[in-house]
């Protein structure tokens, strides 16, 4: 969450950023149904940017999944529900995926959608799909949560600022802002209020800030301010999360 009342939905914002590339196809060998479903859900959970994921099993197409913000928004394929997915589709989608993904070489090929998903399409979040399929998420440690957030939002990350050591900058961040961030990470700073699995997000000087503590080390992440609301929601929906605080 953030103090900005006019925050732009991340899916809409990044749907217009046509210059971004896509990752190469991923191929995972799944020993059985649970492994196959887990591979697809991990990919779904890790997508903040809108993407079509073409899913195939042993070279045979299974379905095309429109995913954004860690949610399954739409399915395409023979005998699959058409149109935007809602909570009412959860059990049917879970049953279809369970029937089609039985094991073997699972390939996931991402592509940018020609048109970003409508902001009103809530879709099905990965956490609900895990529950409907009776699967346990594959991670539970704060460091894993942090790495998942960084991987999912790499294209909108501007900087990583640790308490000690040099900041990792991928964009312009004023020196006085870096100093302020390090102050919030230090003794008596805002980061000391955070518990296990908590993320503190807010807007500052036109930037989006996220504070977290992983493995005992506080860190500040800097994003586009408009992206922060959906990153906070993405974090809160990771399995086992305490939540994201404004």
The two counts, helices (H) then strands (E), for the chain are 7, 12
Domain boundary among 133, 157, 178: 133
Task: Give, for all 246 residues of the chain, the pLDDT tens digit.
Answer: 343 333 344 444 444 333 233 455 678 888 888 888 888 988 887 777 788 999 999 999 999 999 887 889 998 876 666 778 888 899 999 999 999 999 999 999 988 888 877 777 788 988 888 888 887 555 445 556 777 777 777 778 898 898 888 888 887 888 898 899 989 998 888 888 777 667 788 888 888 888 888 777 888 999 888 877 777 777 766 655 544 444
Residues 128, 16: one domain?
yes
Residues 91, 26: one domain?
yes
Burial class of 68 by CB neighbour count within 10 A (0 to 12, 13 to 18, 19+):
buried
Token couple for 200: 């503190």
From residue 56, alpha-carbon distances to 65, 76, 91, 102, 196 in Å are 11, 13, 21, 11, 37
Residues 235, 159: one domain?
yes
Full residue range of the structural domain in which residue 39 is found: 10-133
In a domain, 5, yes or no: no
Domain boundary among 98, 133, 168: 133
Indicate which CATH number applies to the domain containing 213: 3.30.450
Domain boundary among 88, 108, 133: 133
């Amino acid at each position: 969450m953030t103090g900005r009342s006019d925050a732009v939905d991340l899916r809409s914002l990044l749907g217009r950023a046509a210059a971004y590339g896509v990752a190469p196809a991923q191929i995972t060998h799944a020993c059985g149904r649970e492994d196959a479903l887990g591979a697809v859900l991990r990919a779904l959970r890790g997508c903040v940017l809108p993407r079509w994921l073409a899913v195939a099993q042993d070279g045979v197409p299974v379905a095309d999944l429109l995913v954004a913000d860690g949610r399954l928004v739409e399915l395409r394929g023979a005998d699959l529900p058409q149109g935007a997915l809602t909570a009412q589709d959860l059990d049917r989608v879970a049953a279809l995926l369970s029937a089609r993904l039985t094991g073997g070489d699972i390939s996931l090929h991402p592509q940018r959608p020609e048109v970003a998903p409508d902001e009103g399409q809530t879709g099905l979040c990965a956490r609900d799909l895990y529950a409907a399929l009776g699967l346990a998420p594959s991670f539970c440690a704060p460091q894993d949560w942090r790495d998942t957030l960084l991987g999912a939002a790499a294209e909108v990350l501007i900087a990583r600022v640790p308490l000690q050591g040099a900041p990792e900058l991928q964009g312009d961040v004023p020196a006085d802002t870096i100093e302020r961030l390090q102050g919030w990470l230090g003794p008596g700073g805002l980061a000391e209020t955070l518990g296990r699995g908590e993320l503190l997000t807010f807007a500052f000087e036109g930037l989006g800030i996220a504070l977290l503590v992983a493995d005992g080390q506080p860190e500040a992440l800097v994003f586009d301010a408009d992206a922060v609301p959906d990153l906070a929601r993405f974090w809160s929906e990771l399995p086992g999360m305490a939540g994201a605080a404004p």
